């Protein structure tokens, strides 16, 4: 079998041949006319003329192949003390009836369906049911405020909403229906039907005429068959987290996505049909679309749907218990989850209680993984820890350690090598390639591979302006980083998070990497603080490990000296504050931009995706108490 380099070079020199071969791994109703073609405006299209159905490839074809008795989905919910298992035959039947329920309400090919549900089996069936009949789903993260739901209703114009009555957190039940009601009203009552899955923890009050009970609607629903869909038709719309102003609806083309999911499951994640794959995420994020729902099922895996947390449901051993119980072979989660476990169980005492010998690799993505965290995970698990990089827009990994092709030595802090199809380059402000080891804008040369978003919903020009105009001929990722001397890609920060200290462009991620190496630090974040002399200086937020009771000034003095010794005086790192926790989005990203605005006395609006608004207010209070920056009185109180 050819190695990584030969495969990678072929993907760039002969993309039509490479992806044409990859596309033969899935079932097509009608073959494509061209593997790669271009619209009049230059937009690349994959497999134009071809027709397929994603739901068929995820469910029906496995049943037809005689694997109907294999588990397709395991629902593990420690917050409800529930475990449910569905075979491929059972989940195909459920999905077909949900599809029939949708058709009963007039939903057909091209119609949009908004899904506002927690991580429950019915939500996965709803996504696949839309794919089955050619409808376009848009999953909105459960718990988003009514204003955010309304903006997505106005943009996508869904024909129907599928909702649950509530979501369940470790310490509370979150009502969903009031947000749906308010959102529909804000959207001028454009949605005529809402089907509600009633959870016993908090049943919802239904509005007569518009709202329908899920079980009642399903009672007489007839199974619907799969509908052929053009490869260039949209499979789903997903709105990027942290959206401000008009929502940014990423559109995923059906055929390219199908091929990319099949290829990555085998050749990147090295996951084999019949094995159990677990992405510990939420269906509201792109990870939940690609690697809870579509990728594992297309590949014939058993996928795990986990309704719980890495700690607190009930303890830091929660992940290891799931791996043991369901014989997980490959796991995917966010670095913030591993940091939470590390903080609560630094010695791995809970881990030692479970047999996780089924696990072959742990994949991390969603934010940069600091080397101390990945090193800790490697020391604890004695397995490959694969930090990899991708985005909502791409739908699948851009760079990582391709275990299904060739396993490279792991460098903690790096995302290894670009995957086939991705021509990744580092450019300076003038669009010129820069030397290895130097930080610049990370871009991907066109054409982009299958599965990549080709437009924004009803906003093609906005797509072009956002991603393609800054560096003509390239996709602007919005991330900054560098290639090291071995050709390993290091994604350090968002380009907005590069700070300019006395004319020196510094990556906040590089400073965070050094801070995280201090033995007392569990988590950290660095933002730019305005400075009259230097322009900006770095400000560190430090979260101490559980059980560390040392005086905060002593810890701060040590980390300042640590950064100075490691990076030099040019970094000008002198200011830090200890906080109890870092404010994050629900997907685990630290709100660096919002914290920077607070520290610099700028007006801000807490993003809709914020996990815990109180954490933001606490950071503002800590900065104010320490007299750091120009925090306004009361900053964070409305967060």
What's residue 246's pLDDT? 67
For residue 639, what pLDDT is reported? Answer: 33
Residue in 41, 46, 238, 44 with CA at minimum distance from that of residue 155: 238
For tokens 């649950």, the residue is 164
**Which of 248, 257, 232 is closest to 38 using CA atoms?**
232
Residue 512 has pLDDT above 50, yes or no: yes
Supply the pLDDT for residue 57: 98
Kindly state the average pLDDT of the residues 55-69. Answer: 98
Q: What is the arithmetic mean of pLDDT over 564-592?
A: 85
Work out the pLDDT band at 245, boundaries 50, 70, 90: low
* Confidence band, pLDDT 50/70/90 cuts, at residue 417: very high
Which distant-in-sequence residues (6+ apart) come within 8 Å of 63 by Cβ?
88, 89, 92
Distance of CA 462 to the CA centre of its chain: 22
Q: What angle do CA 261, 264, 266 make, to 5 degrees?
A: 110
CB atoms inside a 10 Å sphere around CB 31: 12
Q: Among 115-129, 149-163, 619-633, whose mean pLDDT is lowest?
A: 619-633
Q: What angle do CA 127, 119, 333 make, to 5 degrees?
A: 105
Angstrom distances, CA of residue 16 to CA of 3, 371, 634: 19, 37, 57
| Predicted confidence (pLDDT) per residue in 521-554, tens digit | 999 999 999 887 777 899 999 999 988 888 899 9
CB atoms within 10 A of CB 625: 10
Average pLDDT over residues 453-465: 94
% of the chain at pLDDT higher than 90: 79
- Alpha-carbon distance 375 to 369, whole Å? 10
502-625: same fold as 4-308+388-481?
A: no
Task: Quote the percentage of the chain above a pLDDT of 70.
Answer: 97
Alpha helices in 486-551 (DSSP H): 508-516
Q: Look at residue 353 and give its three-state secondary structure.
A: helix
Cβ burial, residue 539 (10 Å; 0-12/13-18/19+) = buried
Tens of pLDDT, residues 357-414 = 999 999 999 888 989 999 999 999 999 999 999 999 999 999 999 999 999 999 999 9
User: In sequence order, which residues have a C-beta less than 8 Å from that of residue 557 and are 6 or more positions away?
Assistant: none
Average pLDDT score, the chain: 93
Position 636 pLDDT exceeds 50: no
* Strand 234-239, strand 249-253: pairing: antiparallel
Q: Are 512 and 525 in contact (CB under 8 A)?
A: yes
pTM of the predicted protein model: 0.85
Distance of CA 32 to the CA centre of its chain: 30
Q: pLDDT tens, 265-308? A: 999 999 999 999 999 999 999 999 999 999 999 999 999 999 99
The pair phi, psi for residue 284, each rounded to 5°, is -75, -15
Q: Predicted confidence band at 502 (pLDDT cuts at 50, 70, 90)?
A: low
Tell me the chain's radius of gyration from C-alpha atoms. Answer: 24
pLDDT reading at 244 higher than 50? no
The hierarchical CATH code for the domain 502-625 is 3.30.300.30
Domain spans, the chain: 4-308+388-481, 502-625
Is residue 637 over pLDDT 50?
Answer: no
Nearest Cα neighbor of 180 from 153, 157, 155 is 153
CATH class for the domain made up of 4-308+388-481 = alpha beta
List the one residue out of 299, 268, 261, 283 whose CA is nearest residue 72: 299
Q: With contact defined as beta carbons under 8 Å apart, do 117 and 283 qualify?
A: yes
Q: Is the dihedral of CA 311, 312, 315, 320 positive or negative?
A: negative
What are the structure tokens assigned to 204, written together? 């919802």
């Amino acid at each position: 079998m050819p190695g990584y380099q030969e495969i990678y070079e072929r993907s760039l020199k002969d993309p039509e041949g490479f992806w044409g071969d990859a596309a033969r791994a899935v079932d097509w109703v009608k073959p494509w006319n061209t593997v790669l073609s271009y619209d009049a405006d230059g937009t690349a299209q994959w497999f134009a003329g071809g027709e397929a159905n994603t739901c068929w490839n995820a469910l029906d074809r496995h049943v037809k192949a005689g694997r109907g008795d294999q588990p397709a989905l395991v629902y593990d919910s420690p917050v409800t003390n529930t475990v449910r298992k569905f075979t491929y035959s059972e989940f195909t039947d459920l999905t077909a009836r949900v599809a029939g329920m949708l058709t009963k309400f007039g939903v057909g090919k091209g119609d949009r369906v908004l899904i506002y549900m927690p991580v429950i089996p019915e939500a996965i069936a709803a996504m696949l049911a839309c794919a089955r009949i050619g409808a376009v789903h848009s999953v909105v993260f459960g718990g988003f405020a009514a204003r955010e739901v309304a903006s997505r209703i106005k943009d996508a114009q869904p024909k129907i909403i599928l909702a649950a009555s509530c979501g369940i957190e470790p310490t509370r039940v979150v009502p969903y229906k009031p947000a749906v009601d308010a959102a529909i009203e804000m959207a001028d009552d454009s949605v005529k039907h809402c089907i509600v899955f009633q959870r016993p923890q908090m049943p919802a009050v239904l509005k007569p005429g518009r709202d329908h009970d899920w079980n009642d609607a399903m009672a007489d629903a007839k199974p619907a068959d799969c509908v052929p869909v053009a490869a260039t038709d949209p499979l789903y719309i997903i709105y990027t987290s942290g959206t401000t102003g008009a929502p940014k609806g990423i559109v995923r083309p059906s055929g390219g996505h199908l091929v990319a999911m099949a290829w990555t499951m085998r050749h990147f994640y090295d996951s084999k049909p019949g094995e159990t794959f677990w992405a510990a995420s939420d269906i509201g994020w792109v990870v939940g679309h690609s690697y809870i729902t579509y990728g594992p099922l297309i590949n014939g895996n058993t996928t795990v749907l986990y309704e719980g947390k890495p700690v607190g449901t009930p303890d830091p051993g929660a992940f290891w218990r799931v791996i043991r119980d369901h014989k997980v072979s490959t796991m995917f989660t966010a670095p913030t989850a591993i940091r939470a476990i590390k903080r609560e169980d630094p010695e791995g005492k809970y881990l030692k209680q479970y047999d996780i010998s089924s696990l072959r690799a742990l994949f991390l993505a969603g934010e940069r993984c600091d080397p101390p965290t990945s090193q800790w995970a490697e020391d604890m698990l004695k397995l490959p820890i694969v930090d990899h990089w991708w985005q909502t827009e791409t739908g699948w990994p851009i760079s990582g350690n391709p275990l299904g092709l060739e396993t490279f030595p792991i460098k903690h802090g790096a995302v290894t090598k670009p995957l086939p199809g991705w021509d990744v380059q580092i450019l300076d402000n003038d669009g010129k390639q820069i030397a290895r080891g130097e930080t610049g804008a990370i871009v991907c040369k066109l054409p982009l591979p299958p599965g990549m978003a080709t437009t924004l919903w009803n906003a093609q020009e906005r797509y072009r302006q956002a991603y393609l105009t800054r560096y003509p001929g390239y996709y602007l990722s919005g991330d900054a980083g560098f290639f090291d001397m071995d050709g390993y890609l290091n994604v350090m920060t968002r380009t907005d998070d590069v700070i300019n200290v006395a004319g020196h462009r510094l990556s906040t991620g590089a400073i965070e990497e050094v801070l995280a190496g201090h033995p007392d630090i569990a988590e950290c974040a660095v933002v730019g603080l305005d400075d009259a002399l230097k322009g900006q200086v770095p400000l560190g937020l430090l979260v101490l490990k559980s059980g560390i009771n040392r005086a905060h000034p002593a810890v701060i003095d040590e980390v300042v000296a640590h950064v100075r010794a490691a990076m030099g005086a040019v970094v000008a790192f002198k200011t830090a504050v200890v906080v109890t926790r870092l404010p994050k989005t629900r997907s685990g990203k630290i709100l660096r931009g919002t914290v920077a605005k607070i520290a610099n006395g700028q007006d801000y609006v807490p993003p809709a995706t914020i996990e815990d608004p109180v954490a933001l207010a606490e950071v503002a209070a800590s900065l104010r108490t320490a007299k750091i920056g120009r925090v306004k009185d009361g900053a964070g109180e409305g967060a």
